[in-house]
């Protein structure tokens, strides 16, 4: 291997490590395959049962029941429950709303409004200079908000990713809201289920693309630990110096 080959190999290795870290962080932040299943399953069960028997109550109870079951399974396995819990709250709001109006289509309305609000949040926070995806992923990458002032390349990547999420979710809303008014409940439900995963995967993939090309995150936790160790070492050095000054013979006449 020549001297010119080594930097190239080191650069490639660093790039591969960065991609691996990014993939792991995205997997943790968005729940991976299991998180997607937990997101889709309650709505899929609702629309399936409603398609078969047109009974709002049985479909709603089944959807809420499977959401609670997913949380219980995670608790038993001592796994993180944030994705399952968010699913329970979303389904519960949908069930309450549909029961209040008596319209099965309203089961999906709270989730649609949440999607619209989230899309606007991605865009507005990015315009304000604090892209939402950076606030979400910063703690996962152990960089917190260091990317705002100390890592401009990473801030730019977060801005691109946030715009991507916002525009993708707005496009999804542009399809769903007209269908909410025009389509019947069954067809609308199946379209909504079909649009659950593909836009999400597209947004996650674009986030990975932007972050994989960005500078690596600044590990502020490692920096704080290093500072604490340096302070402790300095205290020990000073204590040792004082002990040496106060040792036998210190201050004795010459």
pLDDT per residue over 149-193, tens digit each?
999 999 999 999 999 999 999 999 999 999 999 988 899 999 999
Q: pTM (2 decimals)?
A: 0.79
Q: Round to whole Å and give the CA distance between 28 and 137.
A: 10
- Which pLDDT score, from 0 to 100, does residue 254 have? 45
Q: Round to whole Å and give the CA distance between 137 and 27.
A: 11
Q: What is the mean pLDDT of residues 61-90?
A: 80
- Which pLDDT score, from 0 to 100, does residue 209 have? 92
Asked if residue 242 has pLDDT above 80, the reply is: no
Give Dmax (Cα) for the chain. 105
Q: Please choose, from the candidates 130, 87, 128, the residue with its C-alpha nearest in 3D space to the C-alpha of residue 110.
A: 87
Range from 38-42, 93-97, 108-112, 170-174 carrying the lowest mean pLDDT: 38-42
Q: Is the dihedral of CA 8, 13, 14, 15 positive or negative?
A: positive
Asked if residue 3 has pLDDT above 50, the reply is: no
Asked if residue 25 has pLDDT above 80, the reply is: no
**Element (H or E) spanning 203, and its range?**
helix 197-212
| Rounded to 5°, angle at Cα 134 from 131 and 135 | 90
- Which pLDDT score, from 0 to 100, does residue 2 have? 46
Q: What is the mean pLDDT of residues 42-64?
A: 92
Q: What is the mean pLDDT of residues 26-39?
A: 75
């Amino acid at each position: 291997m020549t001297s010119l080959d080594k930097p190239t190999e080191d650069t490639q290795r660093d790039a591969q490590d960065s991609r691996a870290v990014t993939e792991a962080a995205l997997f943790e932040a968005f729940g991976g395959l299991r998180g997607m299943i937990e997101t889709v399953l309650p709505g899929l069960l609702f629309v399936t049962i409603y398609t078969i028997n047109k009974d709002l109550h049985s479909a709603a109870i089944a959807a809420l029941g499977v959401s609670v079951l997913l949380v219980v399974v995670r608790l038993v396995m001592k796994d993180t429950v944030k994705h399952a819990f968010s699913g329970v709250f979303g389904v519960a709001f949908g069930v309450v709303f549909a029961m209040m109006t008596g319209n099965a289509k309203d089961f999906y309305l709270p989730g649609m409004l949440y999607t619209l609000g989230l899309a606007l949040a991605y865009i507005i926070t990015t315009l304000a200079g604090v892209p939402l995806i950076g606030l979400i992923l910063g703690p996962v990458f152990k960089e917190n908000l260091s990317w705002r002032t100390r890592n401009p390349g990473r801030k730019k990547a977060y801005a691109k990713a946030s715009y991507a999420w916002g525009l993708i979710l707005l496009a999804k809303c542009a399809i769903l809201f007209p269908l909410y008014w025009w389509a019947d409940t069954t067809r609308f439900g199946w379209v909504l289920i079909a649009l659950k995963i593909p836009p999400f995967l597209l947004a996650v993939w674009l986030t990975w693309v932007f972050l994989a090309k960005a500078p690596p995150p600044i590990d502020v936790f490692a920096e704080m630990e290093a500072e604490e160790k340096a302070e402790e070492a300095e205290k020990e050095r000073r204590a040792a110096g004082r002990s040496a000054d106060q040792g036998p013979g210190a201050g004795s006449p010459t």
